[in-house]
Amino acid sequence: MKILVTGAAGFIGSYVCRYLLNRDDEVVGLDNINDYYDVNLKYGRLATLGIQQEIIEWNRFAHSSQYPNFRFVRMNLEDKDAILHLFATEQLGAVIHLAAQAGVRYSLENPYAYIQSNINGFLHILEGCRYHEVKHLVYASSSSVYGLNGTAPFSEQDSIAHPVSLYAATKKANELMAHSYSQLYNIPTTGLRFFTVYGPWGRPDMSPFLFTDAILNNRPINVFNNGDMLRDFTYIDDIVEGVIRVLDQIPSGDETWISETPDPSRSTAPYRVYNIGNSSPVRLMDFIRTIEEAVGCEAVKHFLPMQPGDVYQTNADTSLLEQAVGFKPATLLREGIQKTVSWFRNYYNL
């Protein structure tokens, strides 16, 4: 099957591409390689897939030197004509849509980027699927959609009516948009709510990278809400395994769904939403201690209040995912952090 992976130069996207290529799928990778964070990291991920920086051009395919069944194109999601032309010419069997303007805090600084990429860009993907008979659209949502929800662990059947950042609001909107296209045009869609993903090649704006970088370079770390937060840290390999298993499980309409007591995770349309998390929330101070142990050095901590857009805890109920595809993330934090720190030292020669 030919599969489009958007966000192919991103953290999760590059891993998903490699997994698909190693099982002999044909993959078309797409990314705009924006400068939200260090583009060298994005080019480095692409290089591991056989796409060198010097052969990348806007709206033109680059062919992998490592995987004969991989092509990459630099393209903006916001470019409607380019996206729809891509769908029209590639005859895609499935789409894994991971590209988005990421980051909760950055959404306070540059809200327009989130509407352009996460709303307009997602609409272009939906329209491509609508007109070109894509068999399954799997897309990235986020644990941030739970917002002010105080019931833990978070279930897909909980309300997501109160997001606390524009980023979260755009991810909630993606789920609503996907459902409408599933209902109207019978497009199978599955949304995946990722919970604090970490691992080698991770994003520099997230705490595992920030803390490791600061400690190894003798800089203080910022600890928000004075360390009183819980996060459901999920290792990258578990995320990718969940994505692929869900991709292969094409949803159909649920004939048992009851409109009088609606289940938000499904409907009579071919639509599903799943959490993918480790289901083992870790206190922020315990997480920092785990990194300190892996690095072999204690961090200098700068304690700060909670930042706007942050939530106190994330905690995934993954029972629906387990029932659907027989998989539950289970990588231990200590194991995942050791691998992450080892990669960091090697990549940055520290």
Q: Which of 139, 142, 118, 119 is nearest to 129 (CA)?
A: 139
CB atoms within 10 A of CB 57: 10
Which H/E stretch holds residue 29?
strand 26-31
CB atoms within 10 A of CB 230: 17
Residues 55 and 178: their CA atoms lie apart, in Å, by: 34
> Of 167, 181, 235, 274, which residue is the catalytic one?
167
Q: Which of 185, 183, 184, 198 is nearest to 238 (CA)?
A: 198
Residues 88 and 82: their CA atoms lie apart, in Å, by: 10
Residues 171 and 219: their CA atoms lie apart, in Å, by: 33
Residues 108 and 157: their CA atoms lie apart, in Å, by: 28
DSSP letters of 30-96?
Answer: EE---SSS-HHHHHHHHHHTT--GGG-BBTBEEE-SS-TTEEEEE--TT-HHHHHHHHHHH--SEEE
- Residue 167 among the catalytic residues: yes
DSSP state of 163: -
Residues 156 and 98: their CA atoms lie apart, in Å, by: 19
DSSP state of 145: G
- Known catalytic residues are 167
